Amino acid sequence: MGPFIFFIVLLAILVILLIRIICIVPQANAWVVEFLGKYHSTWAAGLHLKIPFFYRIVKKVSLKEQVADFEPQPVITKDNVTMMVDSVVFFSVFDAKLFTYGVERPIAAIENLSATTLRNIIGSMTLDETLTSRDDINSQITVILDEATDKWGIKVSRVEVKNIMPPQSIQDAMEKQMRAEREKREAILTAEGKKQSAITLAEGEKQAAILRAEAVKEQRIREAEGEAEALLAVQKAKAEGIRLINESNPTQQYLTLQSFDAVAKMADGQSTKIIVPSDLANLAGAITALSESAGK
């Protein structure tokens, strides 16, 4: 039993040594290795052999992009308004050696640097500028953090200001201002609607008046045209009658009768005065002469 137990113990020691010697680095990771307490190399993803008691893995670094969500920080604006601002930093490690030896507690260093940079940037802005310039703040802080963290082996890809929380009194004042703006826009829209309605109504009345005037004008034109046509027809009829009488060569007796008829019509007037000559033959002759001159 002695040799068998010794073999089992030796085999177990060998297995343990193999486990300690063989190292497999996962994908998107980098291991920082020291040799007798001094930096030796950075192992990338894959299989590596480590000499026990001489090599030591001091840090396992993830190369994937990471997100650091920091607590809100008090910030004072240019117009002396204190508000709470929190940010989110997206970063990744591009150099595991610098990340290991460059700074103690890199995440805490990024948080403090982010808070300081936020105070500097927002301190140069007013409250209104801060609330409307979030993209500008994000761009400025990203550039500053990326430049400062290069010596730590960290690449800051972007920084997002997540929340900007003014004091409650400022929030109440802003809410009142927004309510006043909404009421103002509502009043303006109502006035514009009434104005447009009045304009439309006036335009309708104007068009109706124009149409009525056009109708009256058209009616008068048609009545005048009708009267002119009627008068023309009467005159044509009279001319035609005279022409027919002339063509029929009327006798002296007919003309005399027509003359008496004309005299009778003239006598219808209330203020008409007729002087009858003693010689009726002369009157008939005069009337006949008048008729002939009218026929010419």
Per the structure, the count of domains in the chain is 4
Q: Which residue has the higher pLDDT, 265 or 117?
A: 117
Percent of the chain with pLDDT over 90: 11
146 and 159 share one domain: yes
20 and 48 share one domain: yes
70 and 155 share one domain: yes
Q: Does residue 82 register a pLDDT over 80?
A: yes
Segments forming the whole domain that contains residue 32 = 2-62
What tens digit of pLDDT does each residue of 218-227 get?
888 888 888 8
* CATH number of the domain residue 107 falls in: 3.30.479.30
49 and 81 share one domain: no
Amino acid at 231: L
72 and 123 share one domain: yes
34 and 122 share one domain: no
* Plot region of 53 (φ>0 → left; ψ -120 to 50 → alpha; else → beta): left
103 and 159 share one domain: yes
Q: What is the mean pLDDT of residues 29-34?
A: 91
161 and 78 share one domain: yes
156 and 239 share one domain: no
**Average pLDDT of the chain, as a whole number:** 80
143 and 159 share one domain: yes
* C-beta of residue 84 within 8 angstroms of C-beta of residue 122: no
35 and 110 share one domain: no
- Strand 82-93 versus strand 73-76 pairing type: antiparallel
73 and 54 share one domain: no
What tens digit of pLDDT does each residue of 98-111 get?
999 988 888 889 98
Could you tell me which residues come within 8 angstroms of residue 241 by beta carbon, excluding any fewer than 6 positions away? none
Q: What is the mean pLDDT of residues 255-276?
A: 57
- Looking at 17, 46, 62, the residue that finishes a domain is 62
- Looking at 135, 166, 197, the residue that finishes a domain is 166
Angle at 134 between CA 130 and CA 135, to 5 degrees: 140
What tens digit of pLDDT does each residue of 117-154 get?
988 988 888 888 888 888 888 999 999 999 999 999 99
Single out the residue of 225, 224, 205, 202 nearest to residue 213, CA to CA: 205
pLDDT band at 277 (very low <50, low <70, confident <90, very high): low
Q: For the chain, how long is the longest CA-to-CA vector?
A: 194
> Could you give the CA distance from residue 97 to residue 38 in angstroms, rounded to a whole number?
12
- Strand 154-165 versus strand 82-93 pairing type: antiparallel
> Could you give the CA distance from residue 284 to residue 253 in angstroms, rounded to a whole number?
9
What tens digit of pLDDT does each residue of 164-218 get?
887 777 767 767 777 788 888 888 888 888 888 888 888 888 888 888 888 888 8
